[in-house]
Structure formats: C-alpha cells, structure tokens
Amino acid sequence: MFEAFYSAHKDRLFGYLLRKSGNYHLAADIVQESFTRYLEQYAEREHNPALLFTIGRNLLLDHIRKHRSTTTYEDQEHGQTIDQEHVFQIREEARQVLTALEKMDEEERDILSLLASSGLSYREIAKITGNSEANIKVKIHRSRVKLKQILKGNRP
Amino acid sequence: MNDYFISMFIDNELDLDEKINFVEAVHKDKKFKEQNVELLEQEKQLQAHVGTYMDEMPIAAKKSSKRSTFKFWVPSFAGFATACVLLIGFFMLWSTPVKINEELHRFVIYQPNAGQAKIVGDFTGWSPVAMKQIGDSGYWSVSIGLPEGEHRYSYLLENGRQIADPTILAREQDDFGGENSIIKVSIAI
C-alpha cells in the first residue's frame, strides 16, 4: 500500500522540490528524506499527499536556512542557479521555466511549484503556504501573470 | 469578472455558477479570451516534465556499490601461507561468504541505545546474524553477499524487538505481526 503511495507521488514531490530549489541533487535527497520521515511518523494514518508535500517543503526550507547561515552571499547566488549537470538533461521549455522561476519571489515560486507539481487543491496549497483561501486565489493568479511577464522578457 | 477566475479555471477550482459566468465572459470579451489562451499555453510549459526521480530504492541500495570480486585472492607480501590464514580468517568473519554472482551489500542501522543488533532475512535463512557496532557512532553494520533478486529482511534488537529498515520504503507485513523491508539486488555485468 505504501509502495503505491510512493510511486504515485515521488515524481510529483521531486518536481515540486526541483522547481522550488532549481537543484536536481538537493531535490532528489529531500524526496528520499521526506518519504522516510513520512513513513516513520505517519505510516499508520491514511495517506495524505498534502502532509508529504509539507514535510518536503519544511526539509527544503531547513536546508536553505542552514545553507544561508554558513555561506557567503556569493555562495548563495551560486546555489540559486540551476545546477549545470542537470541543465543538459532537461528539455528547453522546462529549462526556461526553471530559469524564470528563479527570478520570482520565494513565495511566488513556492506557490507555482506546488501548483504545477502537487495536484493539490487551492485549499491545501493555502494551508501549506500559510495563506487564507480567499488570498491564495489572488496570489496564484498574480504569480502566473508575473511568470508570463518574465518568460516574455526572456524570449530573444 | 475577476482576472483570477482564469487561474481558477486552469486549476479546476470554479463551481458551476462561476463556470457559467466564466464561459459568458470568455464569449463576450476577446481580450479576456486571449489572456486565457496565453496562460493555458504557459501552463503547459510550467507543467512540462522537469525530471524524473531516479532512485527507486533509497539509501541502503546506494550503499551497496562493491561488486563481488575475489580481491582477497591477491597474494600478500608475506607469502602463500599468510594468504591462506587470511582467507580462512576472512571466511570465519564472514557469516555468508561472497560468491560469484553475489552483490556485497552493506546493511547499516542507527541504534545508539541498543546493546546488540542482528539482521534476519531470507539470505540468512531467517536465522539472526550479529551486526558490528561502528565505534561509538551508534551505527551497526554488517556486509552480506546477496544473490540477484528480491530480498526481505529486518533487524532484531534486544528483547526480541524487530524493526524494518527505516531507510527502505518498500515493506511488507510478515506472518508474525512484524514488518520486513524489501530490497532488489541487481548484479552489474
């Protein structure tokens, strides 16, 4: 039963963490850690994707926080860029989106990454990101429009 | 009509009344329609495949990288006699000697408070094999040669407490109320 949950959500969670972090290896590590934690703490419950995404999100935020406190500004800048090794493995259109997402605010990037990857409802996304349901509608749309502006600006 | 209805439409968040209003707005307002199409096109790009999660079997599977080879056949500088002694010692230490077509798999578990840790699995004939404590790190480990295929195992701690490998996601209930971890071993050619 857990295997089914795992196969159904591993790529989604990976997609979310990759869009949010722009870092292939970090995303892969956190997928692993997220499922392990989920299994340790919530194995007995009915499977809940929103909980899994919350765990993944928190692990990534923890990582970013720790990384920030121990590195210089320049390192952070470097950490923000999509790792080069991965760039060659993904298609052009996906690469454009990942680059555009990096130019957005953290919250906008978070919301759009959740939206594109998780299959979760507005209500669940609002809960995970700490927004009200009324507020999330507006924020989601605003983020989409902003992404459009950035992508248009990127075009040659 | 509020612009954010476009996003709600894309994300299947409109109720029936909102859908009616939405369709009418799209029909009436050309600019609104164009905005819709643009964002839908963008959505295809946003949802485009960014990568596949490659690790089917987490952590412990990655740790088993050593291919079974007869490295211990390399003659030692002290000569053939020493080599023989080493070889015998090696097989005594190794509860399951590594054969050709076996993968040397290292099992590791973190149990800082345990007084002992053992592993049981199909590859040990379900009899417990003691694990070795790694210094005072809290980790216990044992390396066992595994033939290709699927294997089930769990760890035994003091007082007969049985736990599955916390780093392996694939699990299965055994017939005695416990849980076994499942790993797949493939031998590289």
Q: What is the CATH number of the domain that holds A85?
A: 1.20.140.160
φ/ψ region of B79 (left if φ > 0, alpha if ψ in -120 to 50, else beta) reads left
In CATH, the architecture of B60-185 is Sandwich (2.60)
Starting at the edge strand found earlier in the chain, the sheet holding B102-110 runs B102-110, B139-147, B132-134
Query: Domain total for chain A?
Result: 1
Look at residue A29 and tell me whether its pLDDT is greater than 70: yes
Grouping H, G, I as helix, E, B as strand and the rest as coil, residue B166 is: coil
Residues of the domain holding A12: 2-154
Query: What residue in A sits closest to B8 (Cα-Cα)?
Result: A137
For B31-72, write each residue's pLDDT tens digit.
999 999 999 999 988 888 777 676 554 443 333 333 444 444
**pLDDT value of residue B89:** 57
pLDDT tens by residue, B65-101: 334 444 444 445 556 666 656 666 555 555 445 556 7
Record the pTM.
0.57
Q: Which residues contact A22 (CB under 8 A, 6 or more apart)?
A: A80, A81, A82, A83, A98, A101, A102
Answer left, alpha or beta for residue B155, where phi above 0 means left and psi between -120 and 50 means alpha.
beta
Q: Which of A94, A115, A138 sits opposite B50 (nearest CB)?
A: A94
In this structure, what are the phi and psi dihedrals at residue B146, rounded to the nearest 5 degrees?
Answer: -120, 130
- Candidates A2, A90, A122; nearest CB to B50: A90
What is the pLDDT averaged over residues B117-126? 89
Every domain of chain B and the residues it spans: 4-46, 60-185
**Residues across chain A:** 156
**Does the structure's ipTM exceed the value 0.85?**
no
- A113: chain B residues, CB-CB within 8 Å: none
* Average pLDDT value for residue range A132-145: 95
Cβ neighbours of residue A25 closer than 8 Å, sequence gap 6 or more: A83, A86
